[in-house]
Amino acid sequence: MSGDTDRAARIARNESLFREVNERVKELNEAFDALAQNAEWICECGNSECLEPIQMKQEEYEAVRARGSDCFFVRPDEAHVVRDVEAILERHERYWVVQKIGVAAEIAEEDATSGD
């Protein structure tokens, strides 16, 4: 793999990992019936050290998930977007939705199907 491909793969895998963490958060939210209000989720940006919280309603969370395995939510800040591997699809006050492109999209899809 080239350096750019390695970087895109690392970013996509980081975001897929945070998606998995948020799926566990969802289970906890359901167990405590906290879904009527904003729940706290973890930013799914490509920075493996980012653990910044994002307030989202269950419906908002599910809407991002329904977009597909190449879509993630991040803090509403350019610092959480990696422009050469993802594009901003939606901008909301509390979060943005990004979609992977190129190799990063392929890896996000692979990670999603291998987790089933």
The full set of domain ranges for the chain reads 3-114
Q: What percent of the chain has pLDDT over 90?
A: 40
Give the integer Cα–Cα distance in Å for 3 and 111: 20
What pLDDT was estimated at residue 19?
A: 83
Beta bridge partners of 55: 40
User: What integer best gives the mean pLDDT of the chain?
Assistant: 84
Give the integer Cα–Cα distance in Å for 97 and 36: 21
- pLDDT confidence tier of residue 45, bands split at 50, 70 and 90: very high
Q: What is the mean pLDDT of residues 12-40?
A: 75
What pLDDT was estimated at residue 46?
A: 87
Structure-token match 């392929």, residue found: 106
Give the integer Cα–Cα distance in Å for 3 and 21: 27
Q: What is the mean pLDDT of residues 80-102?
A: 93
Structure tokens at 18: 């945070």
Largest CA distance in the chain: 46
What pLDDT was estimated at residue 26?
A: 78
Checking if the pLDDT of 98 tops 80, the result is: yes
Give the integer Cα–Cα distance in Å for 89 and 91: 7
Q: What is the mean pLDDT of residues 88-103?
A: 93
SS3 at position 91:
strand
| Higher-pLDDT residue of 17, 55 | 55
